[in-house]
Structure formats: structure tokens, C-alpha cells
Amino acid sequence: MPRIYMIRHGKAAAGWGADADPGLDAEGQAQAEAVANEIVSTVGPDITFPLMTSPLKRCRETSMPLARLWSAVPVVEPAVSEIPSPTDNLDERAQWLRRIMPGTWADIEKDPTSTGVDFVGWRNALVDRLKQLEEDTVIFSHFIAINAAVGAAMDDDRVVCFRPDNCSITCFDVTPELLKVVSLGREADTVVR
């Protein structure tokens, strides 16, 4: 059964309300180095797995230290990207995210700003992509995306099931029929900026 190591990106240089696609700040870069070493120490120095990353800059930058250690090229996978935003306005986007986080996936559909995006379809596409993996894989993704996978695995409809810290590792086992949480990543107080 393939094991997925799903890593939340390092600390971004800006939040949802300030930049649509920020890279990592200095702390985030240090976190990316640390999680690369943590993965190597977890799986062993002579073992490598495929790497997959969200197309967003903060995830691509988080993947680079492990990619260098393993001489690998991460596959950019849109299915593991952050939850789509129903608006391009950065202030509205941050307010929307703060509003939907305490609710359920069903609640998102009722939110007045959440028009034109199939959020349940996005969640299902993410979970389906994870279930398609046929070998152990390291994935660099996002707070809500990791929560979407955890919620699907635990049959929990909450948007936020736990609060994965930057560069924490959440592990799943997968088959085409099953997504199972093995361990939740380290948690922290996360503020939507």
C-alpha cells in the first residue's frame, strides 16, 4: 500500500490577503531545509520517492531542498493546489477564507461569495488524485488541501479538521478505494493573513 507524505508548505512571504502567489520568507526557507532532512531521516538516506508539488510558488520552493538532496524533479500537480478562490480581490479572498474555515464543505456552497466554483468537486478531484498514486510519494501542498484529504479519509465534512503547521508532515496510506490517515502532521496556531 503506497504511503503519501503530504507536507504543508513553509511560511509564506505574504498571506492570502496580500499576494496571490507568494514565495517563502527566510523562516519558510529554513523550514523547507528542515523538513527535507526530516523526510530523509524518516525514510532512510538511500531511499527516494517521487516528488509532487502544487503549482503555487510557496510549495515549489518548499520542495526544492528535498529535490536537491534526492537529485529529483518534482512533478507539478494542479490537483494538490490550494482551494480555489471565488474572487481575485485579495482582501475579499482573505475574508472569504476566514469565513469558510470554521464550517463544512456543504456550508461553503451556501456562502454568498462562493459562486462559480465547485468546491466539493475540487475536494473530490484532490482525493481521487491521491488514490491514484501507486508508489510512496512526497507531496508539497496547502493547509486546506491537506485538511480536505484528512476530512475525506476520516469521513469528516469540516473544512478544517486540524491545523497543520508549516512544513509538518501528514501521512496517508492509499489504494484506489481507500485513503487512510496514518498520522497527522504537527499542529500550530495558524492565522490566515
pLDDT, tens only, 114-159: 888 999 999 999 999 999 999 999 999 999 999 999 999 999 999 9
CA-to-CA distance for 9 and 37, rounded, in angstroms?
15
- What pLDDT band is residue 19 in, cutting at 50, 70 and 90? confident
Q: Which of 29, 27, 33 is nearest to 67 (CA)?
A: 33
Residue 192 binned pLDDT confidence (cut-offs 50, 70, 90): low
- Collapsing DSSP to helix, strand or coil, 48 comes out as coil
Phi-psi region of 47 (alpha: psi -120 to 50; beta: other; left: phi over 0): beta
Please report the domains of the chain, with CATH numbers, ordered by start residue: 3-172 (3.40.50.1240)
Q: Distance between CA atoms of 171 and 169, rounded to whole angstroms?
A: 6
Which tens digit of pLDDT belongs to each residue from 30-87? 999 999 999 999 998 889 999 999 999 999 999 999 999 999 999 999 999 999 999 9
